[in-house]
């Protein structure tokens, strides 16, 4: 079955799993003889809870879930589904109170423990959702947020499970009780698969770092002396350097910059841009790294009909494109490609010599490399400022018929996508990977 068919099947399965509890309430008569407010309250309760239990499945990096959508797509849906489930969880007691004609269940403190567990869980959900929505504005460090996320998820799910079971589900039809335990077991398995099994497995099979090469003033290439898995050009992995010496031990996603055709080793290229990556230059040959992957769908090989390709990179966003160009050069299949590479200064251009050499070879699929600098030196004779439709059209004939791959900072990708759309490029031919946890 093709990826599109798999996507349709998985979407249908998710929707069915989320709505099945509400359907069982109707089928088993649990919705009979109650008022509309109580019907709404029960719908929000069971549907929101089912969505909460499915959250770990979406984020567990299962191959069968990740491959059709890409991990970035899964995590974006994970965010939307989590916020939706949180809204449902809040609406449940509101509609229940409306049906009872009193908000005492929400305001009183002398309610039974299972009711208090539900109220406490709702507070956690509100805090959790607020942190997710406003993390950037609140300036919560990413690793702190990730630890909060991993610690808070089981607290919320456990609280919601205890509240729902002891207030209602244990008295309901056996099919509902079986579904509750079945979905709860799947949720627990998915959570442990990501937080325990995958990370322990990656550390147990850690790779030796054989080279640490400076690429620009602020970028480093990390070479690991073993190819741990097959991957597509443009995919990424999660890397946890195990260096000791008091250096941070954190898991971060990095694009694989080497070609899958490269034997015996795998490379990532990292830019110093935060507390963790600022220490990447302290990595030494002989250190080890845990890796998990590969992930992502940002690869030209998944689109075999792409024959004329425009690659557009900003800064360290060159890494997945470099992997694709290296693979395309080693295994030419009739593609024609152009590269537009935006940076601030000449010193920020990563792999410049290799990219220019590719473009100068008449046999190379890369027909041209165009460097664009926003703050060029006085002697710079290339393109200046920012990428524009005019620059694209000057170098590429028939831009409207090209497949365009964009990778760089999010504002740059948004601006370039808008330029391509205005230039008449089909939205289906604009390919980006928006990765955010």
**pLDDT surpassing 90 at residue 187:** yes
pLDDT of residue 42: 93
How many angstroms separate the CA atoms of 364 and 380, rounded? Answer: 26
pLDDT of 23 > 50? The answer is: yes
d(CA 186, CA 50): 11
Q: Do 213 and 256 fall into the same domain?
A: yes
Comparing 208 with 334, the larger pLDDT belongs to 208
Q: Tokens at residue 142, please?
A: 């990413």
pLDDT band at 148 (very low <50, low <70, confident <90, very high): confident
Domain boundary among 184, 203, 222: 203
- Beta bridge partners, 50, equal none
Q: 10: helix, coil or strand?
A: helix
Mean pLDDT (the chain) is: 90
Q: Do 91 and 137 fall into the same domain?
A: yes
Asked if the structure places residue 437 within a domain, the reply is no
| Rounded Cα gap, residues 316 and 271, in angstroms | 7
User: With 50 as the cut, is the pLDDT of residue 186 above it?
Assistant: yes
Q: Which residues contact 363 (CB under 8 A, 6 or more apart)?
A: 332
Would 412 be classed as within a structural domain? yes
Share of the chain above pLDDT 90, in %: 62
Q: What's the CA gap between 83 and 79, in Å, rounded?
A: 6
Domain count, the chain: 3
Instruction: Give the CATH number, domain containing residue 236.
Output: 2.40.30.10
Q: For residue 137, how many other CB atoms are within 10 A of its CB?
A: 7
pLDDT interval class at 437 (50, 70, 90):
very low
Q: pLDDT tens digit string along 243-261?
A: 988 888 888 899 999 999 9
Q: What tokens appear for 12 in the block?
A: 């249908």
325's CB contacts (< 8 A; 6+ apart) are 311, 337, 339, 355, 358, 365, 366
Max Cα distance, the chain (Å)? 82
Beta bridge mates, 190:
none
Residue 404 has pLDDT above 70, yes or no: yes
Residues 223 and 324 in one domain: no
**Domain with 371 in it: what CATH number?**
3.40.50.80
Q: Which residue has the tokens 């007691």?
A: 93
Provide the residue range defining the domain that includes 110.
3-203
Residue 1 has pLDDT above 70, yes or no: no
For residue 146 the two structure tokens come to 């990730």
Written as six digits, the tokens of 265 are 């080793």
Q: Please check whether residues 121 and 181 belong to one and the same domain.
A: yes
Are 369 and 341 spatial neighbours (Cβ–Cβ below 8 Å)?
yes
Over residues 159-185, the pLDDT tens digits come to 999 999 999 888 889 999 999 999 999
The predicted pLDDT at position 141 comes to: 78
Give yes or no: residues 172 and 305 share one domain: no
By residue count, the chain amounts to: 437
Residue range 282-289: mean pLDDT, rounded: 94
Task: Give the 3-state secondary structure of residue 251.
Answer: coil
Residues 186, 94, single domain; the answer is: yes
User: What Cα–Cα distance (Å) separates residue 391 from each residue in 273, 353, 397?
Assistant: 29, 22, 11
Percent pLDDT > 70 in the chain is 99
User: What does the pLDDT look like over 337-359, one tens digit per residue?
Assistant: 999 999 999 999 999 999 999 99
Which 3 state secondary structure label does DSSP give 139? coil
pLDDT band at 44 (very low <50, low <70, confident <90, very high): very high
d(CA 15, CA 200): 32
């Amino acid at each position: 079955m093709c990826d599109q068919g798999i996507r349709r099947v998985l979407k249908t399965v998710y929707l069915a799993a989320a709505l099945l509890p509400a359907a069982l309430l109707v089928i088993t008569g649990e919705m009979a003889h109650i008022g509309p407010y109580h019907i709404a309250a029960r719908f929000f309760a069971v549907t929101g809870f089912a969505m909460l239990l499915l959250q770990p499945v979406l984020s567990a990096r299962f191959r069968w879930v990740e491959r059709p959508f890409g991990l970035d797509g899964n995590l974006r849906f994970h965010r939307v589904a989590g916020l939706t489930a949180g809204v449902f969880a809040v609406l449940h007691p509101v509609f229940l109170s409306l049906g009872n004609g009193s908000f005492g269940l929400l305001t009183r403190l002398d309610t039974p423990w299972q009711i208090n567990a539900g109220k406490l869980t709702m507070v956690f959900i509100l805090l959790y959702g607020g942190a997710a929505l406003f993390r950037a504005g609140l300036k919560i460090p990413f690793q702190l947020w990730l630890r909060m996320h991993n610690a808070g998820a089981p607290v919320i799910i456990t609280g919601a499970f205890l509240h729902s079971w002891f207030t209602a589900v244990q008295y309901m039809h056996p099919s509902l009780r079986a579904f509750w335990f079945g979905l709860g077991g799947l949720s627990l398995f998915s959570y442990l698969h990501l937080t325990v099994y995958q990370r322990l497995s990656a550390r147990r099979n850690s790779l030796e770092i054989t080279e640490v090469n400076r690429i620009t003033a602020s970028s480093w290439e990390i070479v690991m002396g073993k190819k741990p898995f097959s991957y597509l050009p443009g995919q990424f992995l999660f890397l946890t350097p195990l260096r000791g010496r008091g250096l941070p031990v954190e898991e971060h996603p990095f694009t694989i910059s080497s070609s899958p055709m490269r034997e015996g080793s795998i490379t990532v290229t990292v830019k110093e841009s935060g507390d963790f990556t600022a220490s990447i230059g302290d990595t030494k040959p002989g250190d080890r790294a845990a890796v998990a992957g590969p992930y992502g769908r940002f690869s030209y090989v998944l689109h075999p009909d792409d024959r004329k390709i425009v690659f557009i990179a900003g800064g360290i966003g060159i890494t997945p494109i470099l992997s694709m160009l290296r693979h395309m050069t080693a295994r030419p299949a009739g593609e024609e490609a152009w590269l537009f590479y935006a940076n601030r200064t000449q010193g920020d251009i990563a792999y410049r010599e290799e990219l220019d050499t590719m473009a100068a070879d008449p046999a190379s699929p890369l027909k041209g490399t165009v460097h664009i600098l926003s703050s060029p030196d006085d002697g710079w004779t290339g393109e200046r400022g920012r990428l524009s439709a005019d620059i694209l059209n000057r170098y590429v004939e028939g831009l409207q018929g090209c497949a365009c791959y964009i990778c760089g900072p999010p504002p740059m990708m948004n601006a370039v996508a808008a330029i391509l759309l205005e230039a008449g490029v089909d939205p289906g031919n604009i390919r980006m990977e928006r990765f955010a946890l």
